Structure 1
Amino acid sequence: MTDQSVFVLGNDLQALEPAAFETEAEFQELLARHPRVLNFGSLADGRPLRLVLVAREMGVSTSVESSPAYWLDHLFVDADGVPTLVEVKRASDTRIRREVVGQMLDYAANGARYWPAALLQRSFEETCVGDGRLLEEAYGELLGDRSREEFWTTVEERLATGQMRLLFVADRIPLELRAIVEFLNRQMRQTDVYAVELTQYRGEGDLRVLVPRVHGEVATAAKLPSGRRTTQRTTRDDMDAVIRTRLAPETRRIATALLDHAAARGRPEGGTAKYPSMSVYYPVAGRQVPLWTLSLYDSPAKEELAFSFGSITHHLDLDATAAFAESLPAVPELQKKLEVQREKGYKGWPSVPLTALAAEPGAVEGILAAIQQLMESRGSSDSAG
């Protein structure tokens, strides 16, 4: 099948001929500046979808401590907090057939684990500044009645539960990729996968026409749209049920002490992942700052406490985060990760198994004392919000 011309009828008839994108960089820049060509579908309330750019070349790490190992071409988000991962390839790039699929799955799996809310918010705001866009204007398309922190927490939770869109964008989509996209869509219940063929036509001067064709919508139609899938948050009762039935006496004591302190002094918020988890915000310097997350993984069974250093640094400052890290108890497994964080500017999520805390007398008391010290040293009160 030969490529046909497109005709524009004005005072006269002008033919626009199919034209390839000269470079992949040109293709990527087009999508970053004009994400409307990728706006298909609707939000949960029926409004038209509008994608907003979070970052170009979004770094993807493969562990809490490591620097980015991969770079996603574009990360967008919509007003429902559903992230959209975009990988761009020209048809002339042979990787468009199979290799790009493996790349995208790497990005999705690791982004879901290592893109905390604070990192996403910082990336978005830096992108807005770099593009000369006012933050108030950019956020106006996203927030509704939510705060900025609440919105990015929602995005983080969507990632954790696999509620996202994966978009393969090319000037021509090969049949092999279409078949893979349709297969993935049938198998992945929470994630929507599309291939978008974006054909460019050029006329006289700077006249261009872009024609997007979306593949994968038929397979997606049998699923609820990403933004409409219901999620159920973990409750304290859910946490207590696992703690009571699965944990040994000493780790049970630690988990209970953490959750009791959270209920008394902080604001616990249940997670939406398949395993029970709870994050806790504490009032620090007039803000609600997320300090830690307790996760009770199912397979393999493991209980882990993670500190949200990236969020603490974002909300407070590097000195406050460093002081908090120094005040944490000297649990060997935790201290090794804190040393790595110190070198990397306290941007990660260092975690420690509850079994490691149980092996160190007074560890949980030391953690709670460090939290209290952070709250008091920053002049906060329990009523701050």
Structure 2
Amino acid sequence: MTDQPVFVLGGDLEALEPAAFETEEEFQELLARHPRVLDFGSLADGRPLRLMLVAREMGVPTSAESGPAYWLDHLFVDADGVPTLVEVKRASDTRIRREVVGQMLDYAANGARYWPAALLRRSFEETCAADGRSLEEAYGELLGDRSPEEFWTTVEERLAAGQMRLLFVADRIPLELRAIVEFLNRQMRQTDVYAVELTQYRGDGDLRVLVPRIHGEVATAAKSPSSRRTTVKTTRDDMDTVIRTRLAPAPRRIATALLDHAAARGRLEGGTATYPSMSVHYPVAGRQVPVWTLSLYDTPAREELAFSFLSLTRHLGLDETAAFAESLPTVPELTRKLEAQRERNYKGWPSVPLTALAAEPDAVEGILAAIEQLMDGKEAPPDRSA
């Protein structure tokens, strides 16, 4: 049976004929610029899936000491922090039948080991810069109230746990590949595997129609929900245990004071990363506004307080956010970051180690006073005393 055209009905009926992609480069560029053709399914909370490009030709090392040994065609990520690995082949490439499967599994296994959060974040931000896209816009679609550090750590953890999507994309999916995809999907509990057949139709001029067909969804739906990782939120008891057993006295006092104030005056929300973390929303101007996140990282062991300036700016506006920043106490490491935030209109998540706060007398009291001023909506002179 020959391939049938599709028809566009406007003033007249126009037939669009099936047309192969001239080169694999053309095919790859199309996916990089228009990842929505791969946006099937939804996020954990039911929102539509929106893939964001981390990098084209993402290097895949095979040891911690070596440079890239392979190159993945595309690495995407979604707002849940689930990475999506994509390999692109044209139907004329005989590797689409079996060889591409071994390639993909190689990339997934080594990426899970050797793609740290810092590399993923740098790759994403370099891609945004190359595409002329602002980080504020890009991160605005991904992060919600999280910091970039927390988001990319989540991506790294999902990779390590095997929570990812593997997508084989071609203009025609052979039966052999469909069978392998369905088999892998039944056997792999944490990883979802799909084959995406993306057929191109061309008409007069520049008119093109892209029609994606997804293979593997039935096998994915058949997976037992109990076999997938359950998301567990950090509790106050979790935080207190780490604070009590790992932190030195001065950082311990700061962490406890922050959490006690949040419990009394705001709303604590546990993080879902493998390391303990909690964020706090405070009532400001009649709404619950995210203000900071306390993270107790495991590897390497360190403790950081990050301020949610992007969220503050969205909720309260630039002037009120700037006033809050100016009211924070002088801590050299934090002050440098606040100066950089001022130049960027407070659209980031500046963080400061608890050890740096501990080195400055009354730093935590100054932070809590600034938060009280924020909640009360009072104008106050900047607190720049040591």
TM-score class, shorter: 0.5 to 0.7
Corresponding residue number in structure 2 for 1:325: none
1:231 Cα offset (Å)? 4.0
Could you say if the C-alpha distance between residues 271 and 233 of structure 1 is closer, same or farther in structure 2, counting changes exceeding 3 Å?
farther
Aligned residue for 2:219, secondary structure, equals helix
Pair 1:106-2:110 in alignment: no
Match of 1:161 in 2: 161
Determine the structure 2 residue equivalent to 1:15: 15
Q: Which runs of 4+ in 1 moved over 2 A?
A: 223-226, 231-235, 259-272, 277-284, 378-385
Structure ranking higher on relative contact order (CA contacts 8 Å, 6+ apart):
1
> How big is each residue's C-alpha offset from its partner over 1:3-50, in whole Å with a ceiling of 9 and x where there is no partner?
001111111111100000000000000000000000000001101111
Change (3 A) 1:32 1:4: same
Residue 96 of structure 1 corresponds to: 96
Query: Which residue of the partner structure matches residue 125 of structure 1?
Result: 125
* Other-structure match for 2:82: 82
| Counterpart position of 1:40 | 40
| 1:282 CA displacement | 2.2
1:148-227 matches, within 5 Å, as 148-223=148-223
Whether the 8 Å CA contact 2:72–2:87 is kept in 1: the answer is yes
Q: Which residue of 2 aligns with 1:298?
A: none
Is the CA contact 2:55–2:123 (under 8 Å) kept in the aligned structure 1? Answer: yes
Q: Post-superposition shift, 1:278?
A: 4.1
Give me the whole-angstrom Cα distance separating, in 1, the residues matched to 2:48 and 2:234: 31
Identity %: 80
The CA distance in 1 between the partners of 2:247 and 2:103, in whole Å, is: 39
CA separation of 1:83 and 1:224: change in aligned 2, threshold 3 A: farther
- 1:282 aligned residue: 302
User: How far did residue 222 of structure 1 move?
Assistant: 1.4
3-state SS in 1 of match to 2:149: helix
Distance 1:231 1:287, change over 3 A: closer
Cα displacement string for residues 276-316 of structure 1 (whole angstroms, at most 9, x for unaligned residues): x94345258x879xxxxxxxxxxxxxxxxxxxxxxxxxxxx
Tell me how far 1:232 sits from its aligned partner: 5.0
Runs of at least 5 residues in structure 1 that lack an aligned partner in the other structure: 239-255, 289-374
Determine the structure 1 residue equivalent to 2:347.
none
State the secondary structure of the residue aligned to 1:279: coil
Classify the secondary structure of the residue corresponding to 1:11. Answer: coil
Closer, same or farther in 2 for the Cα pair 1:30/1:263, shift >3 Å? farther
Q: Distance in 1 between matches of 2:92 and 2:157?
A: 37
Distance 1:202 1:381 in 2: 65
Which letter does structure 2 place at the counterpart of 1:223?
A: K
When the two chains are superposed, the root-mean-square deviation of aligned CA atoms in Å is: 3.4
Residue of structure 2 in register with 1:5 after alignment: 5
What TM-score comes out, normalization by structure 2 length? 0.64
CA shift in 2, pair 1:69/1:234, >3 Å: farther
- In the alignment, the residues of structure 2 paired with residue 172 and residue 270 of structure 1 have an alpha-carbon distance, to the nearest angstrom, of 40
Change (3 A) 1:118 1:261: same
Shift of 1:260: 4.8
Answer whether contact 1:172 1:198 (CA < 8 A) is retained: yes
Contact 1:55 1:74 in 2 (8 A): yes
Change (3 A) 1:6 1:107: same
Task: Check whether the contact 2:157–2:274 (CA below 8 A) recurs between aligned residues.
Answer: no
Letter of the 1:70 partner, please give it: Y
Secondary structure of the corresponding residue to residue 190 of structure 1: coil
Alpha-carbon contact 1:54-1:77 (below 8 Å) kept: yes
Quick one: structure 1 residues 32 and 262, their matched pair in 2 at CA, closer, same or farther if it must change by over 3 Å?
farther
- State the one-letter code of the partner of 1:65: E
Native 8 Å contact 1:96 1:177 kept in 2? yes
| Cα distance in 2 for residues equivalent to 1:28 and 1:211 | 16
Aligned residues of 2:172 and 2:199 also touching (Cα < 8 A): yes
Report the TM-score, using the length of structure 1 for normalisation: 0.64
What does the per-residue CA deviation read over 1:324-375, in whole Å, with 9 as the maximum and x for residues that have no partner? xxxxxxxxxxxxxxxxxxxxxxxxxxxxxxxxxxxxxxxxxxxxxxxxxxx8
Long gaps (5+) in structure 2: 256-270, 277-296, 308-352, 368-386
CA distance in 2, matches of 1:41, 1:178: 19
